[in-house]
Structure 1
Amino acid sequence: MSLLPDAKTLLIEDSPDRVVVRLNRPEVRNAIDQQMIDELHQVCAFLESNPKILILTGAQTDKGGVFASGADIGQLRDRGREDALAGINIKLFIRIAELKMPVIAALDGFVLGGGAELAFAADFRIGTPSIRIGNPETSLGIMAAAGASWRLRELVGEPLAKEILLAGRVLNAEEALAARLVSSLHDPAELLPAAHALAERIAAQDPLAVQYTKAVFHLPRQAHPEADMQAQAVLFESAAKYRRMTAFLEKKAKK
């Protein structure tokens, strides 16, 4: 059975170890609306029950590649206090960040506002030379309230995060690479292959070990080292650990 066959805002490819999701509202540069939020929640529900690597990218527009130009301003303009307190975007982006297997954001063109915050929720970000990434929310009379206010400082440090959040600085590809906000740049035709190559490297690891490592990595400092010991205790008893270490020792013995 295909994943979300009736999706209106996403193009989805489901394979045994990964799911590729393309944001697909090219007429509005993949602006994130309520329908897209709802459909991404359904993707998360599937991945929470069936842990796989997630690759997020944007469908092509008639003006070239774009990840997401932000939230849908038409909908955002009409939202009020109760909508803000409902955490429409932030709850989804937290859910994406907390998926058991890694999330790869493959970025092209505009990565702005809510689109940037969606990218910040990923474990890996790669891009093309045309990316423009930033949070211009204060120019619209609001703030970046779906994760950028804390994730961006963790990703690039306080001085640059404040330039982006308080002064509206939008980074180009080279600046994003220098800040390590993206880990690599690729020609547009090579972007998705590069994301798949990264997914292949992740898929070559033991899935349970990857899941525990991701979970422990994101815990607060005070949770360590107890969390590390508890996670390792589970992995030490796994059949995969014994099988993989045995294979390593046998291969080493043959050299």
Structure 2
Amino acid sequence: MTATLTENTPGTAPARKPLRVERRKDRVVATLDRPEVRNAIDQATVDALHALCAELEAEPRTLVLTGAGGVFAAGADIAELRERTGADALAGINTHVFERIHALPMPVIAAIDGYALGGGAELAYAADIRLGAPTLKMGNPETGLGIIAAAGASWRLPRIVGQARAAELLLTGRIVEASEALAIGLVSALHPAAELLAAAHAVADRIAANDPLATRHMKEALDAPDELHPGIDLRLQAELFDSAEKHRRMTAFLERRSNR
């Protein structure tokens, strides 16, 4: 079902919320929906993302993030950023919500069409899997605006594309287009814009076919710092080895093979 939240004030038209949410049994599709400002991430968007995270922490499902109007997110809202102070920076307004998205129990898929710049790029970096359209333009021009990319780019982008490549992109503010994004591993696949969301659903379908607990444990192991390996892998595997679902799935596999 699709849930588009609105507020009604007497004598006014319903206010459109910045995040359009479609809920299914095994996934949620969240569409950034401020096309008039290229889906710039403002405080209302951050608040809506926090509310969605609370829902997905309580009822884990795969999350697909995308943007309306042929744009993922052209950045943070510059009008808001201009007025923010050092105290606001220390509060980590975007940082904390992107951290929360990355830490969701089930995978996060970003379907990126058009611009994903600044905070929009950092939101995409917070996803586990990124798919792009040929129109993709992605990067962090923050230093040209007198700030830095402080909501995840400095530590997530090196993990995605390597330290040297991330340094070049972040220090120059250069924008990466689709073919280069694919070549350097910033996105794992490119699809025509009209097929991008369907491609994201195909990935979500593959995830949904797997054991949810194994998927959650695999994500936890992937996100663990180096010093926790291999201990965390063995602990998570031990839990799965003793699960009824592991026995059921392996039995079904063996039965299918014996019937070939």
Which band: TM-score by shorter chain? over 0.9
Residues 144-185 of structure 1, C-alpha deviations (whole Å, 9 max, x = no match) = 000001111111112221121111111000010000100111
132-141 or 216-225: bigger deviation: 216-225
1:174-185 equivalences under 5 Å are 174-185=179-190
Alignment of 1:158-197 (within 5 A): 158-197=163-202
Q: 2:125 aligns with which of 112, 117, 120?
A: 120
Match in the other structure for 1:17: 26
Retained in 1: the 8 A contact 2:4–2:20? no
Partner of 1:234: 239
**Secondary structure at the counterpart of residue 189 of structure 2:** coil
CA contact (8 A) 2:4 2:17 kept: no
Counterpart in the other structure of 1:93: 98
Alignment correspondent of 1:213: 218
Local SS of the residue matching 1:144: coil
**How far apart in 1 are the matches of 2:231 and 2:182?**
34
Q: Which residue of 2 aligns with 1:247?
A: 252
**Deviation string, structure 1 residues 117-148 (Cα, Å, up to 9, x no partner):** 00000000001111100000000000000000
Tell me the distance in 2 between the aligned counterparts of 1:14 and 1:198: 16
- The reply on whether 1:44 has 2:49 as its aligned counterpart is no
| Letter of the 1:223 counterpart | L
Which 10-residue stretch deviates more, 49-58 or 217-226? 217-226
Q: Distance in 2 between matches of 1:247 and 1:25?
A: 47
1:4 offset after TM fit, Å? 6.9
Partner of 1:5 in structure 2? Answer: 5
2:3–2:20 contact (8 Å) kept in structure 1: no
3-state DSSP class of the match of 1:43? helix
2-side partners of 1:10 and 1:217: how far apart?
28
Q: Distance in 1 between matches of 2:244 and 2:200?
A: 29
With the length of structure 2 as denominator, give the TM-score of the two structures.
0.94
For 1:3 and 1:147, the matched residues in 2 are separated by 29
Aligned to 2:36: 27
What is the rounded CA distance, in whole Å, between the counterparts of 1:163 and 1:220 in structure 2? Answer: 24
Letter paired with 2:195: E
How far apart, in 2, do the equivalents of 1:3 and 1:40 lie? 14
Q: Which residue is 2:207 aligned to? A: 202
Counterpart contact for 2:5–2:20, Cα < 8 Å: no
Query: Residues 4 and 83 (structure 1 numbering): CA distance in 2 closer, same or farther, change over 3 Å?
Result: farther
The superposition leaves residues 197-233 of structure 1 with CA deviations (integer Å, 9 ceiling, x where unpaired) of 0100111110000000100111111111111111111
**Superposition pairs for residues 75-114 of structure 1, below 5 Å?**
75-114=80-119
Aligned AA (1:22) = T
Question: Which ranges in structure 2 are unaligned for 5 or more consecutive residues?
Answer: 7-15
- Structure 1 segments of 4 or more deviating over 2 A? 1-7
Choose which of 137, 141, 147 in structure 2 pairs with 1:136.
141
| CA–CA separation in structure 2 for the residues paired with 1:45 and 1:80 | 27
Task: Write the letter of the residue equivalent to 1:21.
Answer: A
Determine the C-alpha separation between the residues in 2 that align with 1:220 and 1:160.
Answer: 21
The percentage of aligned residue pairs carrying the same residue is: 59
Structure 1, gaps ≥5 residues long:
none
Distance in 2 between residues matched to 1:239 and 1:165, nearest whole Å = 47
How big is the alpha-carbon RMSD for the aligned residues of Structure 1 and Structure 2?
Answer: 1.2
Give the aligned residue type for 1:35: A
Alignment: residue pair count: 251
Whole-angstrom distance in 2 between the partners of 1:146 and 1:136: 13
User: TM-score scaled to structure 1, two decimals?
Assistant: 0.96
Residue type of the alignment partner of 2:159: E
CA apart distance, 1:5: 3.1
